[in-house]
Structure 1
Amino acid sequence: MMVARKTGRRIGPALITLAAALYFFVPLYAAFQFSLQMRRGEWSLDAYRSVLASDVFLNAFLFSITASGAAILCGVLLVVPTAYWVRLKLPRLRPVVEFISLLPLIIPSVVLVFGQIRLFGSNSWLPLTTTDLGTNLLLIAGYVVLSLPYMFRAVDNGMAMIDIATLTEAAETLGASRLRTIVTVIFPNIRAAIVSGAFLTFSICLGEFVIASLLNRQAFGPYMVQLGQDRAYEPAALAILSFGLTWLLMALMQAAAQRKPGQGWLPFRNKAPRP
């Protein structure tokens, strides 16, 4: 009887994992197979060649990569000091800050972008939408707001795992300023949390459509929608490429999060010399 129960406990999680894997990978395989059928009667990579050879794809992809990187940097610079200060000095305001960070999940993106256009349009006191640079700044600001719930939650959970008060007191005892404490003490201890928030931010920004479309930016999200309306096989190929890029970045970020301070990227680097 006990053996049967142990066997059931092992088979149950395995079946759930298998069902989840099939749920994700079967549609992905179907899309991959469809992307290879651009040439009738045989499988080919013509759809992938068509996508990668397009200048519009390269421009949209590079633009989204740059905007996502800027949004990640701005999000980290905004969230990490805020979460640190709230946990250290203002713990009573933590529920208020958490509520504010969750507002982007409640307010639709279309409301956010129309508010930006209203405040920074051509007739406003700061007409940012009249220039490409200003519109790009509005897009990055929108990306930061959209990713705020995920970045703040990841960073806040990371700070909950360390003793911020003790680390700050030790750093100040050694003569470190508050800024140096955040940069050299807090950042390295929550690096995994920051990487998790950065990955979520990148995933959101790469496929975002509403803000980029209404601000008339040639980003990756609007390009995917337009390609899906005009072509048949190329959108499937583009979806596979997007999944592959996402998984690659996930692996790189995971490696960066697990890398110890002073440790190189290669396994044979930074090893102690043998006597």
Structure 2
Amino acid sequence: MKPSRIWAWLALAVGALYFALPLIGTIEFSLRMRRGVYSFDAYRAVLSDPQFRATFSFSVFMALMTIVLGVLVIAPTAYWVRLKLPRWRPIVEFITLLPLVVPPIVLVFGYIRLYNTSSWLPLTGTAGGTNLLLLAGYTVLALPYMYRAVDTGLRTIDVATLTEAAQSLGAGWITIMARIILPNIMVAILSGAFLTFAIVIGEFVLAALLNRPAFGPYLQVLGANRAYEPAALAVITFAITWACMGLIQLVTRLQKHTQVPR
């Protein structure tokens, strides 16, 4: 074996150990709730907690709504910029990067300032209005990742040719977007959806300051008051994340196998 390959495998092994050892330690610690033996007591305690089910289901619902809103806003915007406004791409890309520069705490305080009960649009006065603010905040936080995923997908197809062909057959803009563009970039959308899901599930600042029953604040409270349950919860979250990644890979392979060769 060449020395370069040895160093490459050595670097790969070190990187794998760097990520695997903390995970193994977390799993081992989560099984020690019962003294002297390994057990799943911590997992049973977490899964049987009504607050866990309520907060996790709320965050999953908000994640799905964020994905839908993100796709409805970002996909047509990225498509239109690539098709009609290519000179605006640097400006749009700069705008989509702003959530990485502006801290979430600044964003949420701006929401509270603008939409409190004494403002012109008192959204924070009701649970539904506060949920709308939380949804808007999640969409903004996921904007850099969703936009880049969609834009990368649009780069892999000939947007202009597909649009001209669809228009020559009498298709309108909604039909072009729904039946031609979106199916061709579905894998890219799923990648952005996975990142959005991960962001929403673990987000703490927006949900805590808007006082919503989300999974992030529950995880923080549990970690401050329990020992073994947070480790079990971290393992469960890690498993859900890897399950989403596996689904993305599965959908990608299925799409490659179902594509008709030209």
C-alpha separation in 1, matches of 2:21 and 2:69: 37
CA distance in 2, matches of 1:85, 1:208: 30
1:197 equivalent in alignment to 2:192: yes
2:50 to 55, 71, 75: 55
Aligned residue for 2:8? 13
Q: Give the gaps of 5 or more residues in structure 2.
A: none
Q: 1:272 maps to what in 2?
A: none
2:119 equivalent among 117, 120, 124:
124
**Which has the higher mean CA deviation after the structures are superposed, 101-110 or 184-193?**
184-193
1:221–1:163: structure 2 CA closer, same or farther, 3 Å change rule? same
CA–CA distance in structure 2, aligned partners of residues 118 and 257 of structure 1:
43
Q: Distance in 2 between matches of 1:26 and 1:113?
A: 36
Give CA deviations for 1:113-160 in whole Å, capped at 9, x if unaligned: 011111111011111111111111111110000000000011111111
* Aligned-partner SS, 1:260: helix
1:245 pairs with one of 224, 227, 240: 240
**Per-residue deviation, 1:261:** 9.3
Task: Verify: 1:31 aligned to 2:26, yes or no.
Answer: yes
User: 1:175-194 counterparts in 2 under 5 A?
Assistant: 175-194=170-189
Gaps of 5+ in 1: 264-275
| Structure with higher RCO (Cα < 8 A, 6+ apart) | 2
- Please provide the CA RMSD for this pair: 1.4
Residue-pair matches, total: 258
User: Which residue among 69, 72, 80 is the counterpart of 1:74?
Assistant: 69
Displacement, 1:251?
A: 1.2
Instruction: State TM-score, norm by structure 1.
Output: 0.91
Distance 1:189 1:15 in 2: 39
AA matched with 1:182: M
Q: Distance in 2 between matches of 1:91 and 1:191?
A: 22
State the alpha-carbon separation in 2 of the partners of residues 213 and 61 from structure 1: 14
Report the equivalent of 2:167.
Answer: 172
1:109 equivalent in structure 2: 104
Which segment drifts farther, 253-262 or 15-24?
Answer: 253-262
Query: Which residue number corresponds to residue 80 of structure 2?
Result: 85
- In 2, the alpha carbon distance for the partners of 1:189 and 1:21 equals 34
Residue 210 of structure 2 corresponds to residue 215 of structure 1 = yes
CA distance in 1, matches of 2:29, 2:64: 32
Query: Residues of 1 paired with 2:257 and 2:203: CA distance?
Result: 36
Change (3 A) 1:208 1:69: same
**In 2, are the aligned partners of 1:32 and 1:236 still within 8 Å (CA)?**
yes
Distance in 1 separating the partners of 2:65 and 2:16? 33
Identity of aligned residues (%): 57
Counterpart for residue 270 of structure 1: none
SS of alignment partner, residue 44 of structure 1: coil
159-168 vs 248-257, which moves further: 248-257
The amino acid across from 1:143 in the alignment is: Y
For 2:224, the equivalent position in structure 1 comes to: 229
User: Post-superposition shift, 1:8?
Assistant: 2.4
Which of 137, 146, 158 in structure 2 is aligned with 1:142?
137
Tell me by how many angstroms 1:81 deviates: 0.2
TM-score, normalized by length of structure 2?
A: 0.95
- Cα offset for 1:20? 1.6
Counterpart position of 1:269: none
Q: CA deviation at 1:16?
A: 2.2
Which residue identity lines up with residue 28 of structure 1 in the other structure?
Answer: L
1:268 aligned partner: none
Residues 68 and 202, structure 1, Cα contact 8 Å, conserved in 2: yes
Q: Does 1:133 align with 2:128?
A: yes
CA distance in 1, matches of 2:83, 2:204: 37
Q: What's the counterpart of residue 90 of structure 2?
A: 95
1:41 maps to which of 29, 36, 42: 36
2:228 aligned partner, one-letter code: Y
Contact 1:79 1:151 in 2 (8 A): yes
Return the alpha-carbon distance in structure 1 between the equivalents of residues 71 and 15 of structure 2: 32
Q: Is the 8 A contact 1:195 1:257 kept in 2?
A: no
Distance in 2 between residues matched to 1:36 and 1:178, nearest whole Å: 55
